[in-house]
Structure formats: C-alpha cells, structure tokens
Amino acid sequence: MRMLAGLFANAKVWFSRTRLVFQQIHFLGNYSLVIMIVSAAFIGAVLGLQAFYTLSRVGSESMVGLLVALSLVRELAPVVVAILFAGRAGTSMTAEIGLMKAGEQLSAMEMMGVDPINRVFAPRFWAAGFVVPMLTGLFALVGVYGGYVVAVWWLGVDDGAFWSMMNDGVSVREDIVNGLIKSVVFGLAVSFLAVYEGAQAHPTPEGVAQATTRTVVKSALLVLGLDFILTALMFS
C-alpha cells in the first residue's frame, strides 16, 4: 500500500519527468500494437460469426453489428487488452525492474538521493494507465470492422442494417465511456502489479523469472475480478 500511495503521490511525473513518461508510452504502446490489432481482428471476426449463427435462429441477423459492438466496448476490449498488456508489457516492466534490483541500480539511486519511485516506477505506472485505454479504443474499433467484414462481406448481412443497429443501440456514456473507465482501472492495476513484483523480486535469475510469472497470473485474476465488480456497479 505504501508503494501504491507513493505512485499516486508522484502523479507530477507527467510534468517533472515528461520525457521519461513519453518514452514509456512509446515502449509500452507502440510495441503492443501488432498483437492488439491482430487479436482484435480475429476476435471481431469470431464474434461476427457467432452472432450471425445465433441471431439467425430468430430472424434477427440485422442485429449482428449491435451485438458485436456491445460485446467489444463493454467487456472484451477492456479485458482482453489488459490481459494481453500484462503478458506483453507487464512482464517486460517486471523483468526490467527486477534486473535493476539484481544489479543494485535501485540501491545506488537511493544512495545518490534519487527516489526510485519517482525516477523508475511512477513513469511506467502512469504511462500504462494512459496507454491501455488508447489500445482498448483501437481494439474495439478494429474488432468492429473485423465483425463487419465477416457479417457483411461473407455472410451477406445488410450493410446499412449492420451500422444503423449499432449506432442506435450503443450509448456513448453507458457503453463506450464505461468501457474506457474499465480500461483505465485495469491498466493502473496491471502496471502496479508489474512494478510491485519487479521491486519485490529476489535478486537472482530465478527470482526475476518467478516475478514475471506472478505478474501474468495475478494480473489475469485481478482483471477478471475487477471486471465483475465494475460491471456490477456500472450496469446494475
């Protein structure tokens, strides 16, 4: 809890260490784009298939776009992005900080009067909180187009019906904004776990490896648990 309080207290790194924050935004976000885009395209395509085959039983194929969009913006985009982010960027943060601890770089900073939380931890923590919502929005957008390609181009759903049902049924405040709020919470939670596990890792190769594994496992469980709580609060 003390580390978490210190990270929130160092929100000023956006202004005092702007260069470091943007370096982390580039590292965490830019190098996660490929896996996010590819995953979103296939998940959207699968949603389009499943929605079409399910809705065709009741003659409601025109609602494929609505079902795909709601599934993505409410649940799948925030959750899948957070879990993929934990596997791609969270493990990287944990390993990097763990190796810095093993090499006594963090101890050297403290001896020189440099706060590791302000210099190392906070830029990564806040950069992840910014990157994950951006990736979530991109994921939802690509996923919708993946569902569109399958539903309209392959299965023959009417183009106008696909978009009109989606536009009428998706609420900006209740669906899109709530999905982005989820993504901010997930991003901060995953980045905190990654930073914490790296700082607590034993300064050995085995210790760093175990810390990266714990980051993925704990992040996945935490994201799923938080998703249930936030969904119950937002859509009850």
If you write DSSP's letter for every residue of 15-57 in order, what string do you get? HHSHHHHHHHHIIIIITTHHHHHHHHHHHHHHHHHHHHHHHGG
User: What pTM does this model have?
Assistant: 0.91
Question: What is residue 146's predicted lDDT score, i.e. its pLDDT?
Answer: 92
With bands split at pLDDT 50, 70 and 90, how would you rate the model's confidence at 216?
very high
pLDDT at 236: 67
Contact yes or no for 120/109 (Cβ under 8 A): yes
Q: For the chain, what percent of residues have pLDDT higher than 90?
A: 32
- Of the two residues 235 and 158, the one the predictor is more confident about is 158
Sign, CA dihedral 190-191-193-194, equals positive
pLDDT, tens only, 117-152 = 777 888 888 998 899 999 999 999 999 999 999 888
Higher pLDDT: 100 or 186? It is: 186
- Cβ atoms of 191 and 125 within 8 Å: the answer is yes
Which residue, 144, 169, 161, 164, is CA-closest to 60?
Answer: 161
Looking at residues 153-177, what average pLDDT do you find? 83
Structure-model confidence comparison of residues 12 and 89, the more confident one: 89
pLDDT-based confidence at residue 26 (cuts at 50, 70, 90): confident
The pLDDT score that the predictor gives to residue 1 is: 67
Exposed/middle/buried for 222, CB within 10 Å: 0-12, 13-18, 19+?
middle
Say yes or no to pLDDT of 64 above 80. Answer: yes
State the Cα angle at 176 between 170 and 181, rounded to 5°.
Answer: 155
Q: Is a pLDDT exceeding 90 seen at residue 63?
A: no
